[in-house]
Structure 1
Amino acid sequence: MNRPQYILLPVSPLFIAFSLFCAFLLNLLPWGRFVGVPDFVALTLVFWGVHQPRKVGIGTAFLLGLLMDVHDATLLGENALAYTLLSYLAIMIHRRVLWFRVSTQALHVLPLLLLAQTVQLTVRFIVSGKFPSWYYFIESFVAVMLWPVVSALLLAPQRRAVDKDHTRPI
């Protein structure tokens, strides 16, 4: 119950851009034949939408969605629609989610990721008439299992002390 509270440093906009760029590069890797590889851009967008809603918003999500549409050679706007909806919902619940521990935050993120995948699946089904399989949704569960790791990595630069003082409890 008495876990330590950290006062986080302000996040650098360059670090946010770097993390989104790295997530985009991870999505560019040829993972296509593997089942369960998460959408790293969606996961990073949810993280920054929850933690920094004023710096990463719907416009960023739309732009990254268009870039992913071009890369995946899918219907233009499919990922953009899903990422925009995902970002909006993450911004909408950001105050509530931050009160919970990281493991509980992951449970709040799961419906958002499942909804984004459902939107993508619906658009693909309307256009092509093909339903991939139920294994398609494993990506969201893998992304939720990665949420504590992503949280630790992306919050690490904000947790460092500017000046170390060992007598200060926070």
Structure 2
Amino acid sequence: MATFTHIDSSSRPTMVDVSDKAVTKRTATAQTRVRFPAEVAEALRSQQFNTPKGPVFQTAIIAGTMAAKRTHDLIPFCHPLGIEKCTMAIEMDGDDAVVRCTVSVHHKTGVEMEALTGASVAALTIYDMCKALSHDILIAETRLVEKRGGKSDVG
């Protein structure tokens, strides 16, 4: 059975002590899917993904990058990290926008939460910029796609 790392011996919440861990390159990729109703996807395509609020995907990329860099301000026990790389990609898959965020750093702790936060906030930004077209837009399937470095690799 796995143990929770954010609980101390007295069952109080605590930040994980990474002081004895080795600095290694750590990379994580997360993905979120934004499901548009067909008519919304078509309207966005016909407008080259621009709305009166501005360029949807470009704005979402900026928001997601900003969020990844500020994850420690949002998630209580995340360590502040000097992120060395953050790439965002948004592609259409049918009527869905697929948001991918990859984050890398040389550090003692991983960047899964940074990648997940970046992908999530980019998806929220897409919703915000498109909600005038429909409130039936669905943000779904936020997940870790891959992580490398540290104790274990995933994906």
Is the pair's TM-score, using the shorter chain for normalization, greater than 0.5?
Answer: no
Structure number with greater CO (CA < 8 Å, separation at least 6) is 2
TM-score, with length taken from structure 2: 0.39
More strand by share: 2
Higher helix content, 1 or 2: 1
TM-score, normalisation: structure 1: 0.36
